[in-house]
């Protein structure tokens, strides 16, 4: 029998290479899955192009509803429903614009259609709109160079969640936006223009049901 004179390392090197290759294969397999059926990169930070969801969390939604209730608290004494009303103002006998003690005209009076969106909002929504407008205007008047990002941040601080902030558009040195404030069958929304000291917010009337779209408001569809 011929004695083996080569060093032991000569024969152990292939085994070490195989072990290293096996470990590398296991590492590559682990990168492709997180063990739960998803990608291993899903748990990392979102990329720069990732879309951020505008759906608020349960806590944010609860805080938003609480904010709406608090803002509308001065309006609770009216006892008016949140939903809109299509009834026209009437006099004591049910005739539109008939003064007390007046004589009804020979021909019926055709009631005029409301010219402003707020005219058809419920009493509670009209009251709540005033409260929202005051707090929003006060906050946005303090924003210098009101970009959409700054306006959104200010609205978030007031408790308005991203899901209810619509159509933030930079228009010259101002930013326009809409707020969907519908709740409990109401149709209140706010149309705003952030322009420093010239900031203005006015009530509008959103769709009775379904998603909110500024296009519906601009086209006059209710």
User: pLDDT at position 215, please?
Assistant: 84
User: pLDDT at position 203, please?
Assistant: 96
More reliable by pLDDT, 222 or 40:
222
pLDDT tens, residue by residue, 105-124: 554 434 343 445 556 899 99
User: pLDDT at position 119, please?
Assistant: 60
First-to-last C-alpha distance (Å) of the chain? 101
pLDDT tens, residue by residue, 42-95: 333 333 333 445 566 789 899 999 999 999 999 975 544 445 444 433 333 344
Per-residue pLDDT band for 205 (boundaries 50, 70, 90) equals very high
pLDDT tens, residue by residue, 13-30: 544 544 445 445 444 444
pLDDT tens, residue by residue, 144-184: 999 999 999 999 999 999 999 999 999 999 999 999 999 98
Per-residue pLDDT band for 218 (boundaries 50, 70, 90) equals low
For residue 143, pLDDT beyond 50: yes
- Alpha-carbon distance values, 201 to 88, 178, 204, 211, 212 (Å): 25, 9, 10, 21, 18
């Amino acid at each position: 029998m011929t004695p083996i004179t080569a060093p032991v390392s000569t024969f152990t090197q292939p085994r070490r290479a195989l072990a290293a290759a096996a470990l590398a294969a296991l590492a590559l397999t682990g990168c492709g899955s997180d063990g739960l059926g998803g990608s291993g990169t899903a748990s990392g930070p979102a990329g720069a192009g990732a879309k951020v969801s505008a759906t608020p969390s349960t806590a944010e939604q609860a805080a938003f509803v609480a904010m709406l209730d608090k803002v509308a608290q001065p309006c609770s004494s009216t006892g008016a429903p949140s939903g809109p009303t299509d009834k026209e103002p009437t006099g004591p006998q049910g005739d539109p614009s008939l003064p007390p003690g007046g004589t009804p005209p020979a021909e019926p009076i055709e009631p005029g259609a409301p010219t402003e969106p707020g005219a058809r909002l419920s009493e509670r929504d009209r009251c709540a709109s005033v409260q929202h407008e005051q707090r929003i205007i006060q906050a946005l008047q303090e924003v210098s160079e009101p970009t959409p990002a700054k306006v959104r941040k200010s609205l978030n601080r007031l408790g308005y969640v991203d899901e209810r902030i619509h159509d933030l558009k930079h228009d010259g040195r101002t930013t326009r936006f809409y707020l969907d404030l519908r709740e409990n069958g109401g149709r209140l929304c706010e149309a705003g223009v952030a322009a420093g000291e010239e900031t203005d917010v006015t009530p509008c009337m959103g769709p009775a049901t379904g998603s909110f779209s500024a296009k519906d408001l601009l086209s006059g569809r209710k």
